[in-house]
Structures are given as C-alpha cells and as structure tokens.
Structure 1
Amino acid sequence: MWWLLPCVLGFIRLYLDGVKVLLYQLFNRSFILPDLPKQNGKVAIVTGGARGMGYEISRHLATLDMHVVIAGNEEHEGLAAVKKIREELNQGKAGVMLVPERRTDDGFELHFGLNYLGHFLLTNLLLDVLKKSGKPGKCSRIVIMSSATHYGGRLTLDDLQGRMCYSAHGAYAQSKLALLLFSYHLQDQLWVRGDPVTVNAVDPGMVDTALYDNLSSPAQLAKKPFAKLLFRTPAEGASTAIYTAAASELEGIGGLYLYNGRKTESSALSYDQRLQTKLWKESCALVGLQ
C-alpha cells in the first residue's frame, strides 16, 4: 500500500492550498488594475488566449494597442476569440487541471507536457527574437502563469511522467512548481548574459473557469455554492498577469512571483538552484534542445 501514499499526499496538499487561497480571497479584495500605458504595437503572445483568463489577457492587452497573437490547441476557438475581441474593440496561460491519466501526442504526462513542457519549449524557441526585440529601458517580458498549488508540489526527477504512481493532484502541482523553477532559472541566465529580457511568474488565485470541470463529483457539488462568493472572475484572475506584462514600474524587473498584484514569496523548493538546473537539463533533453 506504500505506493498509494504519494497519491494521498498530493490530494491533501492540493486541497489544503486551495482552502488557504479561498480564505485569503474571502477577506481580501481582488487586485484592481491601475491605468496602464499604451504599448504602441508591441507584440504579445498569449498561450491559451482564446478562453477564460487567457481571453481576458488577450482582450485587455489589445485595448492597450498591443499586437496580440493567440496561441492554442483549437484553431476555431482562436478565430472566434479574435472575432469577438475585434467586435468589442470596435464597440468601445493554456492549461489543464486534474485530468485522468493521459499522455500528449509526444508521450508526455498531460499536466507536465501541456502546462509546463510546451511553455518551456515555446519560450526557448522565441528567446533569440525576445533578446533582439528588447533593449535597455524597454525589455521584452515573459510572464509565466503558475498557481498557489505549487506550494504543495514535489518534483520527482526520476519520474516526471508519473509512471510509477499517478496522481492527478500531484501531477498538476508538480507542473506549477516546474514553471516557477524554470522562470527563476531562465531569469538568472538572462541576467548573467545581460540580455534585455525579464521573466516573472504570477498566481491568478482561484478563478471560476473551465479548469475545474475535472473535479470529482463531490468536489463539483461542494464548489458550486462557493464559486460565486469566493472565486475570482476570469477578468479578476487575469489582472495580475496583465499588470506584469504592461506596468511601467516593472520595467527591467524580473525574477518575481506576484499574487493579487503584489510581490510574494513562492515555496522554498522553487528557489532551489540545484533543482532548477537539473530540471532545465532534463527538460532540454526531453524536447531535444541543446
């Protein structure tokens, strides 16, 4: 029965983190976006930008005169989002959670592959362009969408795909921890080289989106009466990411973890530089990067 322990612990950690977030949101107002400067045609790539928080980020950045590229898995959703945003403007990040054990087309565990590894690869493929686009005083910005669930996350380097013992709760928390380890390590590399690119991670809080569709039936029933009262709306959840992408006071500042518009300390494990380096090397090997 020992093999069940990681699954049980992952379940407990995830829901304890969720309770802490809900208690915070009960007694604290959602971050309200300040007036942000126009971005004058800067380019933003928003993964998962066709719905939920991703859509709100795309829509708001477009109102700031950014050229927004929506990246996602479903072309029809992206086209519909573009049409809707255009209509709104004329009138006036991708992820999964708690899915049963599944693999991506490349054979990666779905949470790890879609939430983390895809973003790791996309960011690295865009790095040269980001470096050339940025300059002192006008850095390119990378904004990583993590989650408070990372506090309960554990990274098992010899079983990143969850083959020995799969837990949807543990896999989701691991993917969010991996995003933080990645963002801190990448920022350190960029600073060493003096590249004009900043990397920050944000936590949207608990937001009422389709991510919760994979909760168990009892959890779904327990969620419904509290969602309207305690959960953030997609627009509220997107506000910290929008602020991080466009606020002038964050120019040149990287390596942060922001929640509700404020700098926050992430888990002690996320700052482990040896773990950051090991994950980076393993991720490069998995996606075929030098």
Structure 2
Amino acid sequence: MSTWRVQMPTILITGGHGGIGLECVKHVAAKKYDLVLLGRNVSRMDEVAEDLRANFAVKVSPIQVDLGSLASVREAACRCLSLIESGEIAGLQAVLCNAGATFRGEPTYTEDGYELTFTTNYLGHFLLVQLLLDALDREGRIVFTASGTHDPDTADGRFIGRATKPVAEVLAKAGLDGHPPLTGGERYTTSKLCVILHCYELDRRLRAAGRGITTIAYDPGAIAETGLLRDLPGAARAMIGSRVMRWLMRRFGLTLGDLEQSGRALADLATATAYGSGCYYQWQDGALVERRSAAMSYDLELARDLWAESKRLSRLGQDEEPGMLL
C-alpha cells in the first residue's frame, strides 16, 4: 500500500510537549498541520509526537534544543533547515516561540556566560527566529508567548517583581561585572518585556524588508499548571488553582488563563488570519483581546538598542549564518 501523502504546511513550536504548548499542538494537529517540536526533554517529545501521529495522522519531527545554549539553538535550527531542504517537511508556516521558565534565587549563568532567564526566555528565541527567517512562508507568522507581568504599571506587573529597563548587557550579565543581580521575579518580567520589544521591532524590520510575515505577542494569562506558577510548591499551586483564590486574584486585577483554552488560543494565533501584526493579544475572560502593552515596549530607541546588543551577544554576523536577514 502506498504511503504517499500530500505535504502539509509545517508549524514549529518550542515547548510544545507540555503546558499550553501541548494543548496548542493538539489543536494545530487537528487542523492537519505538520509539526516540529523543539525542547529539552527528548523522551517526552517522542511520546507527544507518537500520540499526535496516531490521533491526527500528521508528521511530527522532534528536535532537541536547550534555549539556554546558543550552540544548541544553532544546531536545532540547522537540523530544521536540513529537514526542509531534504523535502522531509514543508517550509514553515509559523514559528511559535512558546517555551519559557522562571529561575528563582540567585542568578545562574549559561555556558555562554549569560544569565539563564534572559537567555532561555529571550536571547535563545531571538537567535532561533533569525536563523529560521528564510524558511518561513512569505505570509507566515511568528508568535511569541509573553506575559502580562512585563508591564510594571499593572497588577500583573507588580505580582512577582517589576520589570526594569531592558538593557541587554545588564540583563545578560546580571550579578556580574558590577551589574545588579536582580530578583528572580525581576529577571523573569524583564525577559518578557524584551520578548515584546523584539516582537514589535521584528515587525518593523520585516515591513521595511517587504516581507509579509505577521508577528504577534501573546499573554496566555497566569495558569497554575504552567510557566510562572509551575515552580511554586504543590500546596501553593493548588491554592492558586482554587475557585476562591482565582476570584480574589481577578479582583486584584491579575490576568488568569486556562490551560486548555489558552492553548487553543495560541493555536488560533498560529493558524488564523484575523490577527494584526506587531500586536499584543491577551487571553482574558474567555476571549482573545488586543491590548496595549507596557509603555516601555513602544520605545523605539530601546528596541533598536536591544536588537543591536542581542545580535552582538548571540554573535550573529560573525560567521556565515543561514537566514540572517535583519
């Protein structure tokens, strides 16, 4: 019996093997998109890939990556490009920069000498997007999972620590070379502010280059099972997940998400055409709503400086790099 099948568009996602990423890929696969899963846990990705293939008859390609390692990001990007060049998968319809983490306590540093939160949540994705730009469909999209905690003027932004001015060198070297260490909450919220600045600056540069790629920043809301709250002790997670506590958190102005619905919304942002480029969307009360992000996220000088420093820190341009257009 022939195994030939029509090649479907491909969506790449980091962190698609857990949390809202896993909920997202189920909905994406149901729409018959092939998938590339990028993550650290190979065995877990293999399990998810097997389930998606069996349930939705799509092609799923797991690729190991450690977003805290720039060498690992380069290797993963090269592996993805090789799959496309060999015809094993179609070109990318979307790249979902979804993975993220909080690291509490004193700063820790990557093999590149950069603070781990900044590298994992922001710099690794910055490099990945640059390396994959040429593989994206002309009308494709890039979606960044952000967080309402990035805005220091909101209840979300005061929840774990206000974001500081997003200067790449200061964030990459937090606690080193005379730079303040910042708390775990400050490191997280500021890394998410960097994500949104990146989204907006990427949109401006793509437009200037005549590319029709859509860029979107997405706040799925705080979810007890994932991201910001996942590393809390079990009792604290259970309390936050309770109806009473969630009611109180809403009364205080915090944005709360839902695992399944927030994952479905991420899939919609990846596949639907109704969403504007260079915009910030928030999951709130059962709907995706376009919102204004933090005042600092619209600062053009901050965005340009962050971009230039991110290229330097990730060593883009020092060697011949595939896909480095911007």
TMscore range, shorter length: 0.7 to 0.9
> TM-score, normalised on structure 1?
0.77
TM-score by length of structure 2 reads: 0.69
> Residue by residue, what CA displacement relative to the aligned partner does 1:54-74 show, whole Å, maximum 9, x if unpaired?
111111111111111101112
Distance 1:266 1:178 in 2: 12
Amino acid paired to 2:113: G
Tell whether 2:209 aligns with 1:193: yes
How high is the sequence identity, in percent, across the aligned residues? 30
- 1:285 Cα shift? 0.3
1:136-215 to 2 correspondences below 5 Å = 139-152=139-152, 153-157=163-167, 158-161=169-172, 162-163=174-175, 164-211=180-227, 212-215=229-232
Structure 1: distance between partners of 2:142 and 2:201: 13
List gaps (5 residues or longer) in structure 1: 1-39
The answer for the alignment partner of 2:278 in structure 1 is 255
Counterparts of 1:237 and 1:149, CA distance in 2: 16
Size of the alignment, in residue pairs? 238
Letter in structure 1 aligned against 2:297: S
Structure 2 counterpart of 1:129, one-letter code: A
- Whether the 8 Å CA contact 1:102–1:109 is kept in 2: the answer is yes
Select which of 33, 54, 67 maps to 1:66.
Answer: 33
Checking the alignment, whether the CA contact within 8 Å between 1:181 and 1:270 is kept in structure 2 is: yes
Aligned to 2:79: none
The match for 1:31 is none
Task: Report the 3-state secondary structure (helix = DSSP H, G, I; strand = E; otherwise coil) of the residue aligned with 2:112.
Answer: coil
Are the aligned partners of 1:183 and 1:200 in contact in 2 as well (CA < 8 Å)? Answer: yes
* Cα distance, 1:226 vs structure 2: 3.1
Unaligned runs of 5+ in 2: 1-6, 58-97, 153-162, 247-255, 318-326
Equivalence map 1:17-28=2 (5 Å): none
Contact in 1 for aligned 2:99/2:145 (Cα 8 Å):
no
Which one of 251, 254, 261 corresponds to residue 236 of structure 1?
261
Indicate the structure with greater strand content. Answer: 2
Change (3 A) 1:155 1:80: farther
Q: How has the CA–CA distance of structure 1 residues 248 and 156 changed in structure 2, closer, same or farther, with 3 Å as cutoff?
A: closer
Instruction: Give the counterpart letter for 2:307 in structure 1.
Output: W
Per-residue CA deviation, residues 16-43 of structure 1 (Å, 9 max, x unaligned), is xxxxxxxxxxxxxxxxxxxxxxxx8211
Q: Highest relative contact order (Cα 8 Å, sep 6+), 1 or 2? A: 1
- Offset at residue 228 of structure 1 (A): 3.9
Q: CA RMSD in A?
A: 1.8
CA distance in 2, matches of 1:107, 1:234: 34
CA distance, structure 1, for counterparts of residue 35 and residue 273 of structure 2: 19
Corresponding residue of 1:96: 101
Contact map agreement 2:9 2:33 (CA 8 A) in 1: yes
Residue of structure 2 in register with 1:267 after alignment:
294
Work out whether 1:80 is the aligned partner of 2:47: yes
Q: Does the aligned pair in 1 maintain the 2:166–2:193 contact within 8 Å?
A: no
Deviation at 1:239, TM superposition (A): 2.7
Give the 3-state SS of the residue equivalent to 2:151 in structure 1. Answer: helix
Q: 1:240 to 1:154 in 2, by over 3 A?
A: farther
Task: Return the alpha-carbon distance in structure 1 between the equivalents of residues 19 and 280 of structure 2.
Answer: 21
- Structure 2 contact 104–183 (Cα < 8 Å) conserved: no
Contact 1:58–1:70 (Cα < 8 Å) also in 2? no
